[in-house]
Every structure is written in structure tokens, then in C-alpha cells.
């Protein structure tokens, strides 16, 4: 998606993506508070405290690998689950497939993404079973080693814990590992009202990309390893890929701030909340139910142009489909004008 500069565009007009939103004041404050010198890389007090902090959130021992980007987090996570000669089953419209320029191939050393279809970028056990069965497992073939699902999906849909569990069970039966791209994990948890544990390891997820950048952080993601023994390799791969920032405390500080008083959930609830009225305004134009903070709707070129003429910014994703994304910082008043404009079409 092209990103022309929109400095001048006020908040109520921007629906391009949550990935360009402001940083939450509490996160900025945490960054400033971390400014005193401390040990480099991840030797600082804040980084050292992350395992315990996330272990509390996830109600079990986890190892946390902070990362500066979601693409880096997904590639690292998958490199722990699949050898270079293996395959990773993912939806054909998954972010790792369409929007990461081969990051998985680089970090895994050439593993292949084995894609399958599914409404709303969701994978079902049936589609996975069919895809895995179709893939040969002989020495000539790219044998599947892992499955990667995105929750919230690329079309704003949410997998419930029982749906993830069904996929997790399938993975166990077939000897596959399960990764969840949780760039919007917070929005999914907020939408479902479940716990972070219910939607991840309790449902069979082995490694989770826990996103914060889209949810109020500046540049902080966390790879959550439900098997802490993976941390050794993960830390080598993070360094080797150039992601072990020397002033890591500034990444760790963001993660702590996001967890403090459940800011991650509050922000996700806020962005989800303002997507709903846009969805209602879209009415029959909606392609998918609005379950989190994304709205996909049909817009003719003329209608899209008319909305842009009124100053609204959003992405076309082709074939007369527009994507609107709300962010943690938008309030009802920020989306009302666009909702009205949609209803008026």
C-alpha cells in the first residue's frame, strides 16, 4: 500500500492503518523514563524483567524476545519452527505471504510458504487437512512443519479460542508446530473478552507474535515463546538479523508500558469500539462482519473518489474494495464524520 505523506490530515480523516498511528503518551513517557544509561542490548533491567512480566500475563513461564518490527517477529518465530527444507502452511493472503517481501524465506534459510484459501483470510481445520494431505512428504517434496495463522486476520476477523484449539489439535495430531501472527492479538482478545492464555498456548499455539506497534507503541513487538528452551536460538537469530538493538531498554520500556494497567487491552478496546459505527454505516457494503478494528466494504471508484474529495484517507485493496482501519487514539467523534459520509453515499 502506498503511503503518501499525510502530515496535514487530521485524525478524523485518517483510516489508512493503525500502523501509522501516534504513540500513546504512556509509552512515550516510559521511553523518556528509560533514558538513563543502562546495560546495552538486552542486558538492561527493563529487558531482563520481560520474561516475568509476560509470564504473569500468560499464566505460565514464557520467554520473551523483544523485536522492533512485526515482520521481523514473524520471520524469527517461524525460523524456530521450520527447517530450511520444510514448509509453513499459511493463508494465501496472510501478511507473511503477501506483505513481507520474503522475510520468512530469509530468516528460515529458504523454507517455503504453502498457501491455502479461506474466507476472510481464515484457515479451517478442513482446509489445513486438505492442504497438508495434498503436500507430498517424501524427500522430493516440501514437507510441512508448521502452520501460521493470523489473529485478528487480514480481513479483520477473529478466531475464537475454540477455533484456535481445533487447529492446535490438528497440528499436534499431524506433528506440526503452530504460530500465531498476533499483530492485532490485543484487538482479538479485546473483542473476545478471553484471556491471553486462552487464545494462545491453551489453544495450542507454540510461538506468538505479540504486536504492540499497531496498538500504541512506537516500534515494539514481542515474540512469545511458550517453550522457553527456544530462547537460546531465538536470541542468536535476533542478533544475526540485526534486531538486537543496542539500546534495547527503549523497546522493553514500551512493552512494559503496554502491559501496565492493561493498556494493551484498553487501546485495543478503543480501536475496536470505533470500528463498529463505521461498520454500521457501511451497511450492505460490508464484505465481512466487523469483529475488531478493520472495516472492508465495497466502494465504486466514483464513491471512493467522492470520499477522498471530502478529505478521507483509506486504502483501496483492489477490485472495488476499500479497507478502513481504526486506531487506539480515535474516539467516536473522530469516526462520526466518515460514518456519516458513508451513510450518505
Sites for a copy of itself among residues 323-342 (CB under 8 A): 327
Give me 220's grid cell.
515494539
Query: Residue 214 or residue 285: which is nearer to a copy of itself going by CB?
Result: 214
Query: Residue 55 or residue 69: which is nearer to a copy of itself going by CB?
Result: 69
Give me 113's grid cell.
510458504
Which residues make beta-bridge pairs with 322?
297, 316
- Is 85 an interacting residue with respect to a copy of itself (CB under 8 A)? yes
Query: Residue 59 or residue 232: which is nearer to a copy of itself going by CB?
Result: 232
Spatial separation of the C-alpha atoms in residues 261 and 146, rounded to whole Å = 34
Query: Residue 17 or residue 166: which is nearer to a copy of itself going by CB?
Result: 17
Query: Residue 156 or residue 204: which is nearer to a copy of itself going by CB?
Result: 156
- Rounded to a whole number of angstroms, the minimum distance from the CB of residue 45 to a copy of itself is 4
- Is 61 an interacting residue with respect to a copy of itself (CB under 8 A)? no
Q: Mind spelling out the 3-state secondary structure of 36-54?
A: CCCCCCCCCHHHHCHHHHH
Residues in 102-141 at the binding interface with a copy of itself, rule: CB under 8 A:
102-103, 105-107, 109-113, 136, 138-141
Q: Among candidates 225, 205, 222, which has minimal Cα distance to 69? A: 222
- Rounded to a whole number of angstroms, the minimum distance from the CB of residue 202 to a copy of itself is 28
**Residue 120 Rama label (left phi>0; alpha psi -120 to 50; beta):** left
- Is 316 an interacting residue with respect to a copy of itself (CB under 8 A)? no
Give me 123's grid cell.
484457515
- Grid cell 484517507 is found at 313
Pick one of 69, 124, 127, 165: the residue that binds a copy of itself (CB under 8 A). 69
Query: Residue 101 or residue 309: which is nearer to a copy of itself going by CB?
Result: 101
Query: Residue 125 or residue 241: which is nearer to a copy of itself going by CB?
Result: 241
Query: Residue 245 or residue 342: which is nearer to a copy of itself going by CB?
Result: 245
- Is 45 an interacting residue with respect to a copy of itself (CB under 8 A)? yes
Q: Please check whether residue 144 is in contact with residue 88, taking contact to mean a CB–CB distance below 8 angstroms.
A: yes
Pick one of 65, 72, 157, 276: the residue that binds a copy of itself (CB under 8 A). 72
Q: Please check whether residue 293 is in contact with residue 325, taking contact to mean a CB–CB distance below 8 angstroms.
A: yes
- Is 163 an interacting residue with respect to a copy of itself (CB under 8 A)? no
Tell me the C-alpha to C-alpha distance, in Å, between residue 97 and each of 23, 42, 149, 156, 228.
27, 30, 11, 17, 27
Q: Which stretch binds a copy of itself (CB under 8 A): 61-69, 186-194, 258-266, 292-300?
A: 61-69
Spatial separation of the C-alpha atoms in residues 151 and 170, rounded to whole Å = 17
Give me 111's grid cell.
523454507
- Rounded to a whole number of angstroms, the minimum distance from the CB of residue 122 to a copy of itself is 20
Helices (H), strands (E): how many in the chain? 14, 10
Spatial separation of the C-alpha atoms in residues 261 and 267, rounded to whole Å = 11
Distance of CA 118 to the CA centre of its chain: 18
Pick one of 30, 57, 64, 75: the residue that binds a copy of itself (CB under 8 A). 75
- Rounded to a whole number of angstroms, the minimum distance from the CB of residue 244 to a copy of itself is 7
Amino acid at each position: 500500500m502506498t503511503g503518501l505523506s499525510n502530515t496535514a490530515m487530521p485524525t478524523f480523516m485518517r483510516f489508512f492503518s493503525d500502523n501509522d498511528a501516534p504513540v500513546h503518551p504512556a509509552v512515550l513517557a516510559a521511553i523518556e523514563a528509560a533514558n538513563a544509561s543502562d546495560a546495552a542490548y538486552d542486558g538492561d533491567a527493563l529487558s531482563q524483567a520481560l520474561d516475568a512480566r509476560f509470564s504473569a500475563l500468560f499464566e505460565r513461564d514464557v520467554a520473551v524476545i523483544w523485536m522492533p518490527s512485526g515482520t521481523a517477529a514473524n520471520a524469527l518465530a517461524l525460523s524456530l519452527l521450520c527447517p530450511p527444507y520444510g514448509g509453513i502452511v499459511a493463508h494465501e493472503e496472510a501478511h507473511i505471504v503477501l506483505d513481507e517481501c520474503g522475510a520468512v524465506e530469509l530468516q528460515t534459510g529458504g523454507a517455503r510458504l504453502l498457501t491455502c484459501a479461506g474466507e476472510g483470510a481464515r484457515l479451517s481445520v478442513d482446509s489445513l487437512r486438505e492442504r497438508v494431505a495434498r503436500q507430498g512428504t517424501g524427500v522430493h517434496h516440501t514437507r510441512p512443519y508448521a502452520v501460521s495463522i493470523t489473529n485478528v486476520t487480514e480481513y479483520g476477523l477473529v478466531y475464537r479460542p475454540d477455533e484456535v484449539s481445533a487447529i492446535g489439535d490438528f497440528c499436534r495430531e499431524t506433528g506440526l508446530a503452530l504460530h500465531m501472527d498476533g499483530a492485532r492479538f490485543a484487538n482479538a482478545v479485546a473483542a473476545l473478552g478471553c484471556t491471553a492464555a486462552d487464545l494462545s498456548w491453551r489453544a495450542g499455539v507454540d510461538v506468538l507474535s505479540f504486536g504492540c506497534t499497531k496498538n500504541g507503541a512506537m516500534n515494539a513487538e514481542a515474540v512469545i515463546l511458550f517453550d522457553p528452551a527456544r530462547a537460546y536460538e531465538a536470541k542468536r537469530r535476533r542478533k544475526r538479523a540485526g534486531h538486537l538493538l543496542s539500546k534495547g531498554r527503549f523497546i522493553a520500556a514500551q512493552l512494559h508500558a503496554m502491559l501496565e494497567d492493561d493498556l494493551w487491552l484498553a487501546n485495543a478496546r478503543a480501536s475496536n469500539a470505533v470500528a463498529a459505527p463505521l461498520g454500521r454505516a457501511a451497511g450492505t457494503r460490508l464484505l465481512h462482519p466487523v469483529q475488531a478494528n478493520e472495516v472492508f466494504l465495497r466502494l465504486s471508484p466514483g464513491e471512493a473518489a467522492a470520499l477522498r474529495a471530502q478529505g478521507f484517507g483509506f486504502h483501496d485493496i483492489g477490485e472495488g474494495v476499500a479497507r478502513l482501519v481504526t486506531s487506539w487514539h480515535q474516539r467516536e467523534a473522530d469516526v462520526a464524520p466518515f460514518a456519516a459520509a458513508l451513510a450518505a453515499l
